[in-house]
Structure 1
Amino acid sequence: MCQFGAKRAVVGFTTFYHSRGSLRDILPQLRIHGRLRLSDQMKWSIQLATALEHLRISSKIYYPDLRLDNIVLSDKSDIVMVDFEQRGVWCEFAAPEVNAIEYIRLIATDENVPDGVREKYLARLRKLVPDCDALDQDAYINPEQGYAISWIALSAGEQEAAEVYMLGRLLWCIFEGVSGPQKAAVWQSYRWESHLEFPEYERTPPTIRALIDRCTRGRRDTLGSKVKRQRSKLILCDPEFREENEENVKEAARQFWLAEIEASENFLDLRDAQRRQGEWNENFFDRPSLDEVLAVLRAYQTEHA
């Protein structure tokens, strides 16, 4: 047992050992050595999209933790998805509609937040997921729908749209040959850090670029638009602040998160109102379906076989 996100959790999974490692580390190495081939990129992309579609249609489950760390390669260079605990992915990878709910959850369950503020957000969270308190217990009960409250609050259609968003970010990493969507991110470091920031493009074919842009509709700026990491130091990249010091770094981050919380609440207010009126579009950002993503990928693969 360990402290995991301020909660007790079981650590570790029993699975086959895949010695080639994860795409997080494999992709930049292939790019650096000129061995990142379009045929492999297409194969992995189609395998990922097919796996997501299979989980949704055949297994009736969602996959909320789609990132390169959770994709390893078999000895035959096929992708293998791991980590099906369903706790969710970091906010920098997740769709904005998932983050809108996740930010509410984080405030509602943080004991360092003043009681009045926490109760306000907890009440809202309970409206979204009535049994959210039971999912926040120490006991590992492995609920059927997982622990990802921000995903449980979504309908099946909304979940698919959120999965497509994550898939789009992953496709960008695969075709650009990088470890993650952000360079020098505050929240994560990589063995080989990217020289690109999503959605900058250098190597991705135009057809795939258009697909990725459609998959990631609704994307928002990240904290990296205000504060970046330079090696082990945080630096300002917000023109509002002329002097770079600790207090301004904190203030830039504070302003960013205040704006994010406001945008999240406005989005959820709109969702609530339109759901009550029967007008809510589950694919609010008009992203393609998993079927449509697969169709584009397969057509491109056939064209360039």
Structure 2
Amino acid sequence: MAIPWDSLKLVFHAHENISIVQIGGLADDETLFVFKALMEETHYMYHELRLLLSMKSHPNIIARPHGLVMKSRQGDSEPGIVGFLLQLYPGPTLQRKLQIAGPTITMAEKLSWSRQLASALIHLRTQGPGYFPDFKPNNIVFAEPSAANELHHTPTSSVTRPILLDFEQRGTWYTWAPPEVRYIEYLELLALTSGEGQIRQRYTALLKQNFPHWSPEPGFLKRSISNARDGYNFAWTSLTEEGRAKAQMYAFGKVLWCIFEGVPSPDGPRRVESFLEDFQQNQNFPEFQASPPAIQQLIRRCTAGALDWGSQNSGVVRDGDRIVPWGREACAHVTAAEAQDAATQWWQNELALAEEFVQYQYGSRNGREDIVVPEHVAQLRRDIQKRPSLEEVVNVLLALEAQHETT
């Protein structure tokens, strides 16, 4: 359905790219829609639109767009697409629900939500690119059980349904991205955005050496939609099909931790990332306080390779409204220079790990028996293989649901 731009009535502006609107001219119809548009990098919008239109429906995935919003351009007789309308789901995001009601969420709800989300990811594996890189609680919204009838499904329980949103597939925060994805993203970010020419040249050369088809030119990054069926996130599209499935499990494990611990984010008060959110939680990933043993084991497997399981630290930590070097929270006199030095040292170490991983995983050293693979690269390879399949996760959740129902 084509909807004229000037027929939309703004109700409120929810986000930089999201507005809640009504369609004017429809008598007695006060239905609200989500209007999504991108002013820049529109290739992500077209990719999401194609993906939503081509995917088969699923009760835990946002419904197909209601219509395309068209606007005439000056000097052009043909209107262009400026965005699209999506169904507005009435419930809060999973992030918000965990923030306001985390301790009161029942085990039945936690198990049901987790199983439904796993089912959605299994469905996505067969659709289009087969992965969902931005899997995190604020991209999961709840629909009331009665809304299931819209997709000709019956709700699996009396609890609300979690729905996956946002299929631009441009990537996610480093909190949710596994190391094998982050490492490529680090190098690409430096190659494309560093203010120092020598650094851009260094990482451009490193990427082209290990990924000969990569290019810093805008034409490569914004190539036509017909040549980018898997999306525009280079780190994810560089993975094999198995690699994408394993990377998907990492974010799923972090979301499981949030659900079963009843907290909105893995980044608690000590993490610097918590400055980005206004959360009141007293624990960090991977501390366990509420998760059953079987879920703890499952989360450990899903997030194998996470920095948090090893001996490395994050370089700096949050201490109230300060950022201080790791282990210096109790020190009253910590200078900004000391915190900056600690952060710089951490990033240098992290980049060294990233460079080695990319070179041994993708470059000329890959597969050569005469090359001694650094232990951290070999360990990450082992960790990736430890991550379970979605089917294994579903089996664990079903067993726990059956056990819960009998107690």
Distance in 2 between residues matched to 1:74 and 1:215, nearest whole Å: 27
Distance 1:238 1:135, change over 3 A: farther
Larger Rg: 2
Q: Give the match's secondary structure for 2:86.
A: coil
Which amino acid is the alignment partner of residue 401 of structure 2? Q
Distance in 1 between residues matched to 2:215 and 2:402, nearest whole Å: 46
Kindly provide the CA deviation profile for residues 4-25 of structure 1, in whole angstroms up to 9, marking residues without a partner as x.
xxx9335886322223211111
2:99 equivalent in structure 1: 28
Q: 1:64 aligns with which of 119, 128, 133?
A: 133
1:8 equivalent in structure 2: 40
Higher strand share: 2
CA RMSD of aligned residues (A): 3.0
TM-score (ref. length: structure 2): 0.66
Distance 1:218 1:19, change over 3 A: same
Indicate yes or no: 2:309 matched with 1:228: no
Q: 8 Å contact 1:46–1:294 — kept in the other structure?
A: yes
Q: 1:146 aligns with which of 210, 224, 231?
A: 231
Distance in 1 between residues matched to 2:85 and 2:340, nearest whole Å: 41
Q: 8 Å contact 1:129–1:153 — kept in the other structure?
A: no
CA shift, 1:153, in A, is: 1.0
Q: Give the match's secondary structure for 2:88.
A: coil
Indicate yes or no: 2:197 matched with 1:115: yes
Distance in 1 between residues matched to 2:238 and 2:117, nearest whole Å: 24
Kindly provide the CA deviation profile for residues 233-273 of structure 1, in whole angstroms up to 9, marking residues without a partner as x.
32333459975111011111101111111111122222133
Q: 8 Å contact 2:134–2:166 — kept in the other structure?
A: yes
2:298 equivalent in structure 1: 211
Distance in 1 between residues matched to 2:135 and 2:398, nearest whole Å: 21
Bigger shift: residues 17-26 or 89-98: 17-26
Distance 1:71 1:224, change over 3 A: farther
Distance in 1 between residues matched to 2:253 and 2:293, nearest whole Å: 14
Distance 1:78 1:103, change over 3 A: same
CA shift, 1:292, in A, is: 1.3
Indicate yes or no: 2:390 matched with 1:296: no
Kindly provide the CA deviation profile for residues 137-168 of structure 1, in whole angstroms up to 9, marking residues without a partner as x.
4x895832212111011111111100001100
CA shift, 1:192, in A, is: 2.9
Which amino acid is the alignment partner of residue 194 of structure 1? Q
Distance 1:288 1:50, change over 3 A: same
Distance 1:260 1:182, change over 3 A: same
Distance 1:283 1:152, change over 3 A: farther
Distance 1:174 1:140, change over 3 A: farther
Q: Give the match's secondary structure for 1:73.
A: strand
Q: 8 Å contact 2:307–2:313 — kept in the other structure?
A: no
2:107 equivalent in structure 1: 38
Distance in 1 between residues matched to 2:301 and 2:328, nearest whole Å: 30
Divergent runs of 4+, >4 A: 10-13, 139-142, 221-224, 239-243, 279-283
2:120 equivalent in structure 1: 51
Distance in 2 between residues matched to 1:93 and 1:274, nearest whole Å: 26
Q: 8 Å contact 1:158–1:282 — kept in the other structure?
A: no
Which amino acid is the alignment partner of residue 274 of structure 1? N
Bigger shift: residues 55-64 or 94-103: 55-64
Q: 8 Å contact 1:238–1:252 — kept in the other structure?
A: no
Q: 1:167 aligns with which of 252, 256, 268?
A: 252
Q: 8 Å contact 2:114–2:256 — kept in the other structure?
A: yes
| Alignment size in residue pairs | 296
Distance in 1 between residues matched to 2:360 and 2:329, nearest whole Å: 30
Unmatched segments (≥5 aa) in structure 1? none
Distance in 1 between residues matched to 2:114 and 2:84, nearest whole Å: 25
Q: Give the match's secondary structure for 1:182.
A: coil
1:252 equivalent in structure 2: 342
Distance in 1 between residues matched to 2:224 and 2:317, nearest whole Å: 36
Bigger shift: residues 156-165 or 176-185: 176-185
Q: Give the match's secondary structure for 2:130.
A: coil
Which amino acid is the alignment partner of residue 173 of structure 2? W
Distance in 2 between residues matched to 1:212 and 1:282, nearest whole Å: 16
Q: 8 Å contact 1:157–1:282 — kept in the other structure?
A: no
Which amino acid is the alignment partner of residue 21 of structure 1? P
Kindly provide the CA deviation profile for residues 202-237 of structure 1, in whole angstroms up to 9, marking residues without a partner as x.
000000000000111111149973323345432333
Q: 8 Å contact 1:104–1:125 — kept in the other structure?
A: yes
Kindly provide the CA deviation profile for residues 115-158 of structure 1, in whole angstroms up to 9, marking residues without a partner as x.
23212211332343714543434x89583221211101111111
Distance 1:193 1:226, change over 3 A: farther
Distance 1:216 1:18, change over 3 A: same
Which amino acid is the alignment partner of residue 122 of structure 2? E
Distance in 1 between residues matched to 2:163 and 2:329, nearest whole Å: 45
Q: 8 Å contact 2:143–2:161 — kept in the other structure?
A: yes
Distance 1:44 1:13, change over 3 A: farther
